[in-house]
Each structure stands twice: as C-alpha cells, then as structure tokens.
Amino acid sequence: MKKILITGANGLLGQKLITQLEGDTYWNVLATSRGENRLPESSIAYQSMNIEDRHEVFETIAAFRPDVILHTAAMTHVDQCEQNREDCWRANVEAVQHLVAAAEQTGAFLLHVSTDFIFDGEAGPYDEHAEPAPVNYYGESKLEAEKLVQRCQAPWAIARTVLVYGITNSLSRSNIILWVKNSLEQGKPIKVVDDQWRSPTLAEDLAAGCLLIARQRAEGIWHIAGKDFLSPYQMAVMTADYFGLDKSLMTRADSTTFTQPALRPPKTGFIIDKARTKLGYEPHSFEEGIAIVAQQIKELQEQE
C-alpha cells in the first residue's frame, strides 16, 4: 500500500480528496491541515500540521514517510493576498520551501496545486507551455512556489487549475453557483462580470485529476480544469436557468465597475488536452457540475 500525505485537508479540495480516498485500498492516507479536523466522520487518519512551521513539516513527514505529498493548502483569497503580502508569502512560498526540503529528504513525489492566476490573461485559454506573467501578488506568490517545486531534487508535478467551485460539508465557502442561487432566491439584484473568461472546475474533478497524477507519478506540469470556457455572466445565467430563477435580477457588468485591491487577469482558462490524453482525465461540463452541486446542497439541507 502506497502512502499519501495531503496538506489542506480541511479545505474544499482537501475534503473532496478525502471523500474520494475513503475506502481506496491503493493508498494509506494521512490528512493534515492547520488546527482541528473539520472533515466529516472519516476512517482516514488526521493530524494537525502547520505548513508554515518548518519543524512541524519535517517531523510529520519524517514520521509518516509518504510516497506522495499532495500539497493543496494555500492562501487563495486574491484581495487578501494583495493586502497582506507577508502572510501570503509565508503561506504560499515559504511553506512550499519546507515541503520541497522534506520531499528531498524522504524522496517523496511532490504534487503541488497551482493556479491560472500565474498568467496575465491576455491570451487564454492556456496550455502547459504558455509563458507565466502574473498581474497580482497572489499570482506572483504561486509562480514563485512553482519555481521552487521545479528545482526540487525529488520527483515533482504541478497541477494548475482554474476557478474551483463546489461545496464543503459545512456550506461555509461560497462560490458562483451558491452566490447566484442564494441572491436570486432572496430577490436580490446582482451584477455579474461579462468581460472575463475562465474554465470553471468542479472540485471533485480537480481531486480526481490530482489522484490520477499521484497514482501514475506523472511528473511535470498538468492543466486540470473544466471543459467549458465561460464568462461569470454565462455561468450565472446557466445557474439561474438550472434552478428556475428570475434572470431579470441579473445585470451584465464590466470588471471596471468593481473596485478590488488586486487586478484580475481577463481571459485565462486552460487547454486540458494533455491531461485528457496522457492521464485519462475527463471533467464534467459546467451544467453537469451545477447538477452535482445542487444534489449536494439538497443532501446537506436534509441532514440539518
């Protein structure tokens, strides 16, 4: 049985990974995150690990000796990264230095999750060979982390993704589907950007893509994203249509109408041909993703 250690297990991607790994006899899993275990009842072992604490990282990884380290933890709130640069650097760069060093020491395969925000968004969608040029501090921090991983002396892979959506077990984290659904159900008018484009990625698909890379120890850079190329306005229309909500409450807006501390790249999105042909990765469409999220919301509300 191969051993896999996951960072950020309490987060959205972390929770989906744990769900998919439950009962998987190929892997012996150690889930780690900062603080208490927020995973629903699970047979998977959990240990608190602060990735910013070098000693804690080394101690945990040396004791477990994973074959694979799957690093999902990061500071991802783009505006908070812009305004709290030191915190962002510690979480997104220094933590990766610790993990790279621990991987080198143990010979673990390091799989690092990265982002479309390393690109300037002038020429998306992008393939794995596109030239990075971030336009905000979050993107800069993630690009710096990629460079550290690429210099790692142990085997490594980078899984870049785009606009991940899905729901956590506590419904604590919003996303475009929840935001549109909740706003329109409450009769609130919303403005939605129509001059940016992404390939929205269902969290379950990203988890499945990461596990394909981990199991195949597929080295190098991989673009793991959804199959559709959409503006947030198009995503909102599809969400409203799915739930049968009033689209007249929605207004198209251009990104200049929003004042945000960090710039956003206008047109990212990914070309996922490499992951499809070499890994066997096959994501859901955004429409299918809405249906999956809707079913999960229903199940969680029934449990309350």
Give the tens place of pLDDT for each residue, 251-269. 999 998 888 999 999 999 9
Tokens of residue 267, six digits: 């047109």
Q: Identify the pLDDT of residue 42.
A: 86
Q: If pLDDT is split at 50, 70 and 90, which confidence band does 41 have?
A: confident
Contact 211, 17 (CB under 8 A): yes
CATH class of 2-166+200-227+264-286: alpha beta
Q: Identify the pLDDT of residue 108.
A: 98
Strand partners, 33: 48
Residue 287, helix vs strand vs coil: helix
Query: Which residue is it, tokens 């729901």?
Result: 167
Q: Identify the pLDDT of residue 169.
A: 81
Q: Which parts of the chain are beta strand (E)? A: 2-7, 27-33, 45-48, 68-71, 109-115, 156-161, 164-165, 190-193, 201-202, 220-223, 250-253
Residue 151 burial by Cβ neighbours in a 10 Å radius (0-12, 13-18, 19+): exposed
Statement: residue 64 has pLDDT above 80: yes
Q: Identify the pLDDT of residue 39.
A: 84
Give the tens place of pLDDT for each residue, 98-138. 999 999 999 999 999 999 999 999 999 999 999 999 999 99
